[in-house]
Amino acid sequence: MPGARLSLLGVLWGVLAGWCASTSAFAAEASSQQATPPVTEPITVQVVAQGLAHPWGLAFLPGGRFLVTERGGNLRVVEANGMVGPPLAGVPRVSAGGQGGLLDVVTDAAFERNRALYFCFSEAGEGGNSTALNSTALARAELSADATRLSNVKVIFSQQPKVASSLHFGCRIAQPAPDLLFLTLGERYNRSDDAQTLDNHHGKVVRIHTDGRVPADNPFVKRAGALPEIWSHGHRNPQGAAMAPDGRLWIHEHGPMGGDEINLPAPAANFGWPLVSFGLHYNGRAVGNGQPTQPGVTAPVHHWTPSIAPSGMAFVSSNRYGPGWQGNLMVGSLKFAYLARLELDGTRVVREHKLLAERGKRIRDVRQGPDGLLYVLTDAANGELLRLLPR
């Protein structure tokens, strides 16, 4: 019996030692990632505009002007000289609160001909205020010739069902073809299990025509019990979306405590949330079975632990910054307040550079402009629109 007790104590000691080692390793990894010094990059930061109230989405207008959404519900034109215009008329009321409000905006591929744009926002249900049920909605509108108002505003998609939550709206838009749109949708935080079922829009990427119709080749069009707009599922809170130069959709999404992911949504693909994650629940409990992947789940092409809280996403296709930047992927970090420049080998991230960290500003959006330069929005009560100039 004494030998058995000693053996048992040895096993317990081994388990404890292993746990301590893994915990120390996790802490060391977190410390090393957070402590990575910024890399000196050949760029100069130019402040284009200031005084934007928690700007969220950025789009480009002819003549060097910009469209900027403010989370509280305003859409503004920023002139080429940086002057911030008054709120545009015609924007529908949004359910502003928490992470909700007026979020992403893109101009149509044929904007110079049709003046059309698309924006997504948190849409209130019955009651019409921030405490009512709400969900992410996508609208189409036309910008007046004098750029002072929206007309012909029409909601072309509304996430179902609406729930009482101020979290995880997702809400990034990408246009893969002249008549198609992708929209990322969060799982609303308290409805995470919905991301694994197809009878709702929570935790999904949806694909629709620009007038709201469902494309006939969507993967679940003919599946009973599935909503036909769904393109992929198992997402948590995707706040970045961009079309790669090869025409593929890339997104990123917030993990829980760790495990932010970059994913390549594919038709009918399941990305695992909340069954698997490289992160932990906020109470420290493992997600699902404690394994980051499992059969039937598409693994991310990249992940961050600890979480960087990613927002905004853009590919560099221009040569304005030299050949070393062409094909790079840019991702903003809200948590650590830097802009990540990711070097890629195919779909694999091979190196990360941290830009703008010395400014200490939360990065909400990043876009490549028609001039081939990168533009960045900082998330603050006095938010900025920045232009990155090559030295």
Give the mean pLDDT of 205-232: 98
Q: How confident is the model over 140-159, as a mean pLDDT?
A: 98
* Edge-first strand listing for the sheet containing 383-390: 43-52, 383-390, 374-378, 363-368
Name the CA radius of gyration of the chain, rounded: 22
Q: Reply yes or no on domain 47-390 having CATH 3.40.50.300.
A: no
Task: Give me the DSSP letters along 297-358.
Answer: -PPPSEEESS---EEEEEE--SSTT-TTTTT-EEEEETTTTEEEEEEEETTEEEEEEEESGG
Q: In angstroms, rounded to a whole number, what is the distance separating the alpha carbons of residues 364 and 214?
A: 30
pLDDT tens by residue, 262-310: 999 999 999 999 999 999 999 999 999 888 999 999 999 999 999 999 9
pLDDT of 27 > 50? The answer is no
Strand partners, 177: 180
Separation between Cα atoms, residue 78 and residue 49, nearest integer Å:
7
Instruction: Assign 30 a pLDDT band (cuts: 50, 70, 90).
Output: very low
Within 67-189, residue ranges assigned H as helices are: 111-114
Instruction: Give the strand order in the sheet containing 249-253.
Output: 238-243, 249-253, 260-263, 302-304
Q: What is the mean pLDDT of the chain?
A: 91
pLDDT of residue 184: 99
Edge-to-edge strand list for the sheet holding 116-124: 102-107, 116-124, 134-143, 150-158
What is the set of active-site residues? 168
Q: Which has the minimum average pLDDT: 3-17, 88-102, 128-142, 297-311?
A: 3-17
Q: Which pLDDT does position 286 carry in this prediction?
A: 95
List the domain boundaries for the chain: 47-390
Q: What is the DSSP string of 263-299?
A: E---TT-B--TTT--SSB-TTSPBSTTS-S--TT-PP
- The DSSP symbol for 151 reads E
**Quick check: 386 and 375 in contact, CB under 8 A?**
yes
- The SS3 assignment for 31 reads helix
Q: Which residue has the higher pLDDT, 139 or 12?
A: 139
Reduce the DSSP state of residue 114 to 3 states and report it.
helix
Sort residue 147 into left (φ over 0), alpha (ψ -120 to 50) or beta: left
Per residue in 77-110, pLDDT tens? 999 999 999 999 999 999 999 999 999 999 999 9
Output 28 or 293, whichever has higher pLDDT. 293
